[in-house]
Structure 1
C-alpha cells in the first residue's frame, strides 16, 4: 500500500492534468470537505480601554472594571462609582482553524455589548477565548482597527459611516490549546459533499476508484468513504492526490427560487413547462382632484367659493395571451415574460399560477 501511495504522489500532478478535460469538471476539494477537518468557534468577554470619551457608563461595565482592578490587588470602595467613559464592555469572537498549533496567531473581531458610541482608538485587554466545551483555546489582546466613524451635534443630530462599534485585530489572539482532530485515526477518510446528491456521490466514488480500484464507496447522498494509509505522512500525501482529482458533479434538481422581499427570481436551467396559455393584464385607475374658485357674476347675490373637481381615468393595458408548447425551456419562458412587460411582482404571480395549474415542471421555492 505504501509503495502504491508513493507512486501516486509522484505522478499525481501529471495524472490530475490528464484525468478530466470536461469544461464543467471541478476538483474534489471544491465540492467536498474531509470529515473531522473543521474550524471551531471561540468566544470571550473583555474590556476595551483608552477610548476618547466614547465608552459607556453601564452597571456591568463598572462591575467588570472593578473585577479587573481587584485582580491586580486594587480594591475600590463599594459606594464609589468610577467615571469610565473611556472603557467599553465587548464580546470577542474568532475562528480557530483546523490543525491550528499552540503559539500560532488568529484574527479576532471585537463588538460592543453596551451603549459605547465608538471603539475607535481603543485597546483590547487580555481576553480569554473559550470553545463550546468551556475550555480556553486562545488569548486575545491588542489595538483595534475600526473602519466606522461617528459624529454628533448638541442638537441630537449625528452621522454614522459604517459601524464604529465593531473592530478587528489582525493576529490578535495567541492559540494556547490545540483541538484534537480525528483526521489521523481509523483506516478510512470520508469526503462530505457540500450539496447532498446521490449521483454526485457516486461519480465522486467512481473517480477515486478509477485511480485506486475498490478504495472508495458512497455511503449515502453526502458521504464517500475512502480507504487510506494509517501513517500520517502517507495519509497527507494520499489526500493531496485525491482532493485534486476532477469530476463533473450532477446538475441540481429543477427549481425556481423567488425572494419575495427583494423581487429576485432565479430559474434553473432544467425547469420545463407543460402546455399552457397565459394572459397577463392590469387595470390602472387614476383619480385626480383639482380645486377651483367659483366666482359669481358682478350683479349676482352670491359669494366666492372653492369647489373641487374630480376626474377618474381607467387605463387597461393591452397585454396579449401567449401559449407555451410542451417542454418549454428557460430561455423561452424568460423571453415570453419579457415580451408582455411583466415586472418582478407580476412574474411571481405568473409562476405561482403556473405551479397551481400543474404546468410547472420544477420546484417553486419562495423565501
Structure 2
C-alpha cells in the first residue's frame, strides 16, 4: 500500500509539471547545430621511427624495423645490412594528425604516435623526422620530437606494473605544416552553405527563418540538412563577420522522440518529448528453486535388509506480487521511469517494460538498442 501511495504521488507531481516541461524548450546557437560546408579538417598519416628507447623497442625478429633503420642510415651515407642491426632501442610507429582548416605553412599541430611492432614502451623515445601525408599522397606536414606516453610499464622479479598504454604517445605541436589546404568558404555563385549536424526538416526551417528575420530573404532551405545563404553585398568585404553573425543567431532546434538503451550496462537515455498513450503496466517476478538432498536408509536390526541411498528432490516456486499501475496518456517516459523506480523496478525491468510498451504501440518514440 505504501508503494502504491508513493507511486500515485510521483505521478501526480509529474503530471503537474509535464505541460511546463514541454513548453520550456532549450535554445541554442546556429554554430552549435550546423557548420559551413567546405570548412573541415583533414587527416594526415605517416610512418616513422622512435629512437632512444631503453631496450623496450621492437625485437630483432621484426624485419620491417631493421629495414627501416638500414634505409634511414643509408640516407646519411652509411651502408649497413639489416641483418647486422641488433638494437632494441628503436620502434617502428605510425604517426597520425589532424590538419585543421585555414592553417598556414609554419603553423604547428599535434601528433599521435602508436607502435606497430612488438615494442613494450615508447616512454622516453624521440620521433625522427616523419613526413605526414593526406589521402591524395601529398605531404602536408613534417613531424619530429619527444614522445609523451602519459604512462609507464615496469617489471621485475616476476611482477609487473603498468599505467595507461605506454605503446601510444603524443607530441604536442610536434608537426610543422608545410602546405596549406585550400578551403572554399564562398561558392562561385556567391553563397554560403550551412550543413546541419543532425538533419531535420523543422530545425532547417527554423534556421532559415532566423537568418531571414535578421538579414532579409537571403536564405533557402534546400533539404533537411542544408541551408543555402546568399552573401549580401554589404558583406562582400567582411564575409568572416557575416558568418560570425549567422553563427551567433539563436534558434529552437527540434529533435525526434528517441530512447537509447544499452542492455549491457542497463543505461537508458531518453528525450523530454517522448510520450505514451494510456497503458497499464504490471511488474513482478517468478522464481523457481530446485533442491536435491541425499538420504541414507538403514534397515532395522536383524531384519536382513540392506542399506539404501535415496535422492529426494523438492521444487519451490515463488511468485512476487506484481505491482500494477495505470499511466494516463498525458504521462511521459520520465513519469514511467520515476514510477517504476518508486516500486523497486531495476534498470533491466525498466528496459523490458519500455520494449513491451513500444511493441504494444503505446510508446511514441524511436527505440534504439545499442
**Contact (CA 8 Å) 2:337, 2:350: kept in 1 or not?**
no
**Contact (CA 8 Å) 2:276, 2:333: kept in 1 or not?**
no
- CA shift digits 1:173-223 (9 cap, x unpaired): 000000011114420111111111111111111111112111111111111
41, 53, 56: which is aligned to 2:55? 53
How far did residue 314 of structure 1 move? Answer: 3.2
Compared with structure 1, are the counterparts of its residues 313 and 93 closer, same or farther at alpha carbon in structure 2 (3 Å cutoff)?
same
**Contact (CA 8 Å) 2:44, 2:134: kept in 1 or not?**
yes
Matches within 5 A, 1:185-204: 185-186=187-188, 187-204=190-207
Which residue number corresponds to residue 365 of structure 2? 362
Which residue number corresponds to residue 271 of structure 1? 274
Do structure 1's residue 348 and structure 2's residue 327 form an aligned pair?
no
Which residue number corresponds to residue 3 of structure 1? none
Do structure 1's residue 163 and structure 2's residue 165 form an aligned pair?
yes
Do structure 1's residue 40 and structure 2's residue 45 form an aligned pair?
no
**Contact (CA 8 Å) 1:255, 1:268: kept in 2 or not?**
yes
**Contact (CA 8 Å) 2:50, 2:92: kept in 1 or not?**
yes
Do structure 1's residue 111 and structure 2's residue 123 form an aligned pair?
no
Which residue number corresponds to residue 173 of structure 1? 175
Write the distance in 2 (CA, Å) between the matches of 1:123 and 1:300: 91
Matches within 5 A, 1:242-253: 242-250=246-254, 252-253=255-256
How far did residue 280 of structure 1 move? Answer: 2.2
Which residue number corresponds to residue 261 of structure 1? 264
Deviates more, 1:204-213 or 1:116-125: 204-213
Deviates more, 1:115-124 or 1:206-215: 206-215
Q: Secondary structure at the match of 2:206?
A: helix
Do structure 1's residue 239 and structure 2's residue 243 form an aligned pair?
yes
Please provide the CA RMSD for this pair: 2.7
**Contact (CA 8 Å) 1:42, 1:130: kept in 2 or not?**
yes
Length-normalised TM-score, structure 1: 0.85
**Contact (CA 8 Å) 1:229, 1:235: kept in 2 or not?**
no
Consecutive aligned runs of 4 or more in structure 1 exceeding 4 Å deviation: 229-233, 287-312
Write the distance in 2 (CA, Å) between the matches of 1:179 and 1:286: 69
How far did residue 294 of structure 1 move? Answer: 9.3
How far did residue 278 of structure 1 move? Answer: 2.0
Which residue number corresponds to residue 4 of structure 2? none
Give the gaps of 5 or more residues in structure 1: 1-21
Which residue number corresponds to residue 3 of structure 2? none
Deviates more, 1:221-230 or 1:126-135: 221-230
Compared with structure 1, are the counterparts of its residues 189 and 310 closer, same or farther at alpha carbon in structure 2 (3 Å cutoff)?
same
**Contact (CA 8 Å) 1:119, 1:167: kept in 2 or not?**
yes
How far did residue 52 of structure 1 move? Answer: 0.4
**Contact (CA 8 Å) 1:184, 1:232: kept in 2 or not?**
no
Q: Secondary structure at the match of 1:95?
A: strand
Write the distance in 2 (CA, Å) between the matches of 1:151 and 1:317: 53
- CA shift digits 1:12-65 (9 cap, x unpaired): xxxxxxxxxx97221111121011011111000100000000001211111111
Write the distance in 2 (CA, Å) between the matches of 1:72 and 1:208: 60
- CA shift digits 1:137-174 (9 cap, x unpaired): 0000000111121122354x433211101110010000
Write the distance in 1 (CA, Å) between the matches of 2:194 and 2:295: 78
- CA shift digits 1:221-273 (9 cap, x unpaired): 111111115887411121122211222222x1111111122211122222222
Write the distance in 2 (CA, Å) between the matches of 1:305 and 1:91: 73
**Contact (CA 8 Å) 1:148, 1:165: kept in 2 or not?**
no
How far did residue 286 of structure 1 move? Answer: 3.5
- CA shift digits 1:107-148 (9 cap, x unpaired): 000001111000000000000000011100000000011112
- CA shift digits 1:273-317 (9 cap, x unpaired): 222222122122334567899999999999999998766543321
| Matched residues, number | 343
Give the gaps of 5 or more residues in structure 2: 1-23
Compared with structure 1, are the counterparts of its residues 110 and 307 closer, same or farther at alpha carbon in structure 2 (3 Å cutoff)?
farther
Length-normalised TM-score, structure 2: 0.84
- CA shift digits 1:50-97 (9 cap, x unpaired): 00000012111111111111111211136x331121000001000000
Write the distance in 2 (CA, Å) between the matches of 1:126 and 1:212: 50
Write the distance in 2 (CA, Å) between the matches of 1:295 and 1:345: 50
Q: Secondary structure at the match of 2:44?
A: strand
Compared with structure 1, are the counterparts of its residues 101 and 320 closer, same or farther at alpha carbon in structure 2 (3 Å cutoff)?
same
